[in-house]
Structure 1
Amino acid sequence: MSFGDPNNPYGQQQGGQPGYGYPQGQQPQGQPGYGYPQAPPVQPYAGGFAGGPTEMPGGVKAARVMLFVIAGFQVIGSVLFFLTGAAISKAQDNPALKDDIQFKDLADFPTGGVYALGVAVLLWGVLAIFLGAKFSSGGNGIRVTAMVFGIITAVLGIYPFVIVGLAHTVLAILVAVFVGKSDGGAWFNRARH
């Protein structure tokens, strides 16, 4: 029976040989086997160095821009709410429209509610601007708030404003995803000096 070349390190070893150059039972412990280099110790992700990333990752930059775009949409929406409230108020005073059946439902809606919705939309835009501005210096609380903001904005963009809110929904989902990724976590949890 042939075992091949006894000097071939990749071939089948003949029976009884524990290792090259060491008697049986005396092979040193803790050293890697022949031909296998030892890997460096595994370090937790910190952007390649101990302090964390020094430049904002691309996904976080994109989320920041998307927050500013959402804020712009919110300002436009609040202006439309204020204009609608003013138009309803003016139309309620018109005696010719008081007998119109189609206008009756609109006239019953309180203008104060329309103005309150306009203020709420404007404040939501201010929150988006605040979050976007805090991305460069904020910590994990800003990250979590931006993720919650994105999720709530996406839900509100789907339900009451299906067509108009489509852009809000897409942008808000992207904000939540980009901020929630691991490089976003590394950015918001970095060491600050």
Structure 2
Amino acid sequence: MSFGDPNNPYGQPQGQGQGQGQQPGYGYPQQAPQGVPPQQGGYGYPAAPPVSPYGGGGYPGAVTEMSGGVKAARVMMWILGAFNVLGALVVIGMSFAIDSELEKSGASSADAQAFADFGQGVLIAIGVISLIIGVVGMLLAAKFRSGGNGVRIGTIVYASVTVLFSIFSLPLGLVSLVLGILIIVFLAKSDGAAWFNRNKQQY
């Protein structure tokens, strides 16, 4: 009596022999079907999150380091702020120098004195405005590391105003014009937006 006989009622059923349909016996782990990757981690342990190239705790998109474009824009903001502060000091100094020269020239007519006072007032006002603009630019540059998207928007507006005024002051405003355009370009790029939105991406 042979177990391989298909007509033998005491033999093993067909499909349970040594063919491909053989079930694993007790004590042998079941193997995953072909084409299915093995499950990561043991039973009851979830798979670990993917490793982020930015070092943001395993979650992609979390930015932890300022990009080169944002760093360059920050340096340019410091330069623009310094230019405005120095320009303000020069203009205010010129206003007092003009008034002093007018007094030395002996021009004592009412019209000359009124014109000198008006010119001095205009120069002082321009100097004060330039000083305020320079301080605002430096404050924005100082907030690049800790500020959010509001700092980015404020810097783009600041650079846009700088570009506008630089156009009317060409060729003296050529440097400010170039720096303002570069700041807008760097902060409008995706890496600039990612840096200032990094706090939102961590949640």
TM-score by length of 1: 0.67
Is 1:107 equivalent to 2:137 in the alignment?
Answer: no
Q: Equivalents in 1 of 2:185, 2:145: separation in Å?
A: 18
Is 1:180 equivalent to 2:177 in the alignment?
Answer: no
1:68–1:175 distance in 2 versus 1, CA, 3 Å: same
- Cα RMSD, aligned residues only: 2.6
Q: Equivalents in 2 of 1:83, 1:124: separation in Å?
A: 18
Provide the residue aligned with 2:197 in structure 1: 189
TM-score by length of 2: 0.63
Provide the residue aligned with 1:157 in structure 2: 166
Q: Which has the larger radius of gyration?
A: 2
Provide the residue aligned with 2:100 in structure 1: 90
**Letter matched to residue 52 of structure 1:** A
Cα deviation, 1:43-67, whole Å, max 9, x if unaligned, reads xxx9684452100010000000000
Q: Equivalents in 2 of 1:53, 1:171: separation in Å?
A: 25
Identical pairs, percent:
41
Q: How many residues align?
A: 144
Q: Report runs of 4+ in structure 1 exceeding 6 Å deviation.
A: 103-106
- Once the 2 structures are TM-superposed, how far is the Cα of residue 95 of structure 1 from its aligned partner? 4.2
Contact kept, 8 Å, 1:147 with 1:176, in 2: the verdict is yes
SS of 1:110 mapped into structure 2: helix
Is 1:73 equivalent to 2:83 in the alignment?
Answer: yes
Identify unmatched segments of 5+ residues in structure 2.
Answer: 1-52
**Letter matched to residue 150 of structure 1:** A
Contact kept, 8 Å, 1:51 with 1:191, in 2: the verdict is no
Q: Equivalents in 1 of 2:62, 2:140: separation in Å?
A: 21
Provide the residue aligned with 1:144 in structure 2: 153
- Once the 2 structures are TM-superposed, how far is the Cα of residue 78 of structure 1 from its aligned partner? 0.7
- Once the 2 structures are TM-superposed, how far is the Cα of residue 178 of structure 1 from its aligned partner? 0.5
Identify unmatched segments of 5+ residues in structure 1.
Answer: 1-45
1:119 to 107, 113, 128: 128
SS of 1:146 mapped into structure 2: helix
